[in-house]
Amino acid sequence: MFVAIILFFAILIILATGVQRITTSFKETKYQLNAIAEAENIARAGLVDAVSWFRRQKSQPVASGYPPIKYSWPDGAFDPKYNTNPSKCDTIDESIGIVKQYKLSENNNIWVRYEVRRQQELAIYDPNAVHDITAQRIFDKQNGEGLLWSIVSFGYVYNYVSTATPFNIAPNKIIAKAQVSTEIRRMYVNPPVESAYIVKDGGTAISPTVIININGKVIGGNNIGCGRVVGEIPLIKSAGGAFQLKDGEVSGNPKFQSGLDDPTVNYVLGVSSSELKLLSDYIVNNVNDLPDPLPDMSLIFFEGDANFSSTKPLRSSGILFVNGNLNIAEGSNSNYSGFIYVLKKAIINPPCLISGCVIAYDGLVLSNPSPSDIAEIDYDSSIIEIIRQRMGHYRENKSLFRVFKPMPGL
């Protein structure tokens, strides 16, 4: 009996010890997981800061030049600077790259830090530094042209005991570390000419690809009205004196121009349609997938036809890319400012006003034989310039964002 009692208490002690160890292990695991998640978050913050740095630079694209002009090596253009003025300071250590660190809590010595490293001129190639990889991604372009950059960011959570030693040297201790990477690409808007509307092939007199119906207007102003690579000028329909209807109209200086460079997606936007998709703010298959109201100054990519109507009008600004046909229905009352690229054909019914530039590669039907109002495309150089400045910047390729397995303290 006495032995049984002793065994009973021994088992209780063992169970209590086991529970305590499990509880302690659980707390330590939870602490490590929280630290790892925090390290990943701070590494992501480093990427955001780096992309912002590229976009903020006055000289665009950010480039050493080819052959190198400003810097003697292709990656040299990534050159963040320290400044005593916090609003102008890119980094706390320009010998490394972009470096920022913050205290995580006032109640302890836990700090966080991110590093986006600069490739130094004479140093051994660092695969985890920021690199101009234009030549690796774009045919017939060279590293140094600054069109495409790879960025790696490291995030650290550490116990900052002593300011007398670096953050990763004892008595300081790294608790967790994470690494994330991405690529950014410079996008531009570069139609072959300044023209209200551009088509690849105008077709023939018998079978035109561009039809300007009654109450349809293409206004080039001091620039070209309708431009084309080959083919005939648009078919312009007459109202025949019908009451309150006007002949189709194309105006500009000149009205028509042929012999343009082929306005392919790559020529105009500097990327392929598949690459553009990955750079877009919104990728949709249907107008119902778009937010309401449509966001201004956004890059919208339609995977297929885009059909706008009175219940879903096209009212916004920015860049609209349609990987199919564009249809704007009668009565939609659409109003768009920016650049529209349609890979196939555009059918635009009134009332509708598009200010900027439209490229519908395979053709255009503007207005219809019995229109209720005006359908108009106006070339506006100021809008195109705003699009270039505000949207033709570095954009992140979302498919190339990587999170490398975060690690507890190293």
Same domain, 153 and 245: no
Same domain, 172 and 294: no
Which pLDDT does position 392 carry in this prediction?
A: 80
Same domain, 293 and 402: no
Cα dist from 33 to 109, 160, 168, 408, whole Å: 18, 19, 20, 8
Residue 5 lies in a domain: no
Same domain, 25 and 43: yes
Which pLDDT does position 407 carry in this prediction?
A: 58
What residue type is 73 in one-letter code?
Answer: W
Residue 3 lies in a domain: no
Count of C-beta atoms within a 10 Å radius of residue 142: 15
Same domain, 122 and 247: no
Same domain, 344 and 308: yes
Count of C-beta atoms within a 10 Å radius of residue 386: 18
Residue 170 lies in a domain: yes
Same domain, 237 and 172: no
Sorted by sequence, the CB contacts under 8 Å of residue 56 that are 6+ apart come out as none
pLDDT digits (tens, 9 = 90+) for 289-342: 999 999 999 999 999 999 999 999 999 999 999 999 999 999 999 999 999 999
Same domain, 274 and 153: no
Token pair, residue 187, equals: 């996008």
Residue 1 lies in a domain: no
Which pLDDT does position 107 carry in this prediction?
A: 73
Residue 332 lies in a domain: yes
Cα torsion 53, 57, 61, 64 to 10°: value is -90
* Calpha distance 330→230 (Å, rounded): 30
Q: Which residues of the chain have pLDDT under 50?
A: 15, 18-31
Sorted by sequence, the CB contacts under 8 Å of residue 292 that are 6+ apart come out as 312
Domain count, the chain: 2
Q: Which domain holds residue 28?
A: 11-187+395-408
Same domain, 157 and 286: no
Same domain, 341 and 236: yes
Residue 263 lies in a domain: yes
Which pLDDT does position 128 carry in this prediction?
A: 95
Same domain, 171 and 287: no
With tokens 């045919």, the residue in question is: 139
Residue 160 lies in a domain: yes
Residue 2 lies in a domain: no
Same domain, 149 and 175: yes
Which pLDDT does position 306 carry in this prediction?
A: 98
Q: Biggest alpha carbon distance in the chain?
A: 118
